Amino acid sequence: MASTNSWTLELESKVSAPRMFRACVMDWHTLAPKLAPHVIDNAHHVEGDGGIGTVRHYNCGSAVPFNAMKKKVEFLDVDKCECKYTVECDGVETSTWNIKMKPTANGGSVAMVECTSKGAHANDMMLKAKESAAEMFKSVEAYLIANPNAYN
């Protein structure tokens, strides 16, 4: 029987919201295989122009419990650093991710990530995805701090 599971992450960063958003959301398909090939082995464009309706296929690494996933952009507001996308992967019927990055008073940012998934194995798989999301966020932050001209 399929179950529905949800989780929320709040992640603080020393990096500004626009830079984190561009790296974590807009260019994730390029950056993830470089920073964490154990999570995302490679990615390729399926359709769209990067905006709403864009679909990308990801081949996953050993750190995640599924082999591949497709991600479709459902909502995107680059100026407000907000997006919503759906993910299709093995064992999960539906998975919806909402990401909002807001600036903080110190020039950094805070990301709110909400995920709701439904499927026979959704709970175990999405808890692992939550761990991977937090790890990847910190990897991107470290990359951006080490490369201050990236994603400006």
pLDDT in tens, the chain (152 residues): 567 788 899 999 999 999 999 999 999 999 999 998 988 999 999 999 999 999 999 998 887 777 899 999 999 999 999 999 999 887 777 889 999 999 999 999 999 999 988 876 666 777 777 888 888 899 999 999 999 999 99
Question: 27: helix, coil or strand?
Answer: coil
> Which pLDDT score is estimated for 82?
98
Measure the CA–CA gap between 82 and 84, rounded to whole angstroms: 7
Measure the CA–CA gap between 125 and 95, rounded to whole angstroms: 11
Residues forming a β-bridge with 99: 83, 113
Name the DSSP letter for residue 106: T
> Which pLDDT score is estimated for 42?
93
Count other C-beta atoms under 10 Å from residue 62's C-beta.
Answer: 9
> CA angle 118-41-84, nearest 5°?
40
pTM for the structure as a whole: 0.89
pLDDT in tens, 37-61: 988 999 999 999 999 999 999 998 8
Q: Which residues contact 113 (CB under 8 A, 6 or more apart)?
A: 8, 9, 10, 11, 97, 98, 99, 133, 137
Q: Helices (DSSP H) in the chain: which residue ranges?
A: 17-21, 28-35, 122-146
Identify which of 109, 87, 94 has the alpha carbon closest to the alpha carbon of residue 40: 87
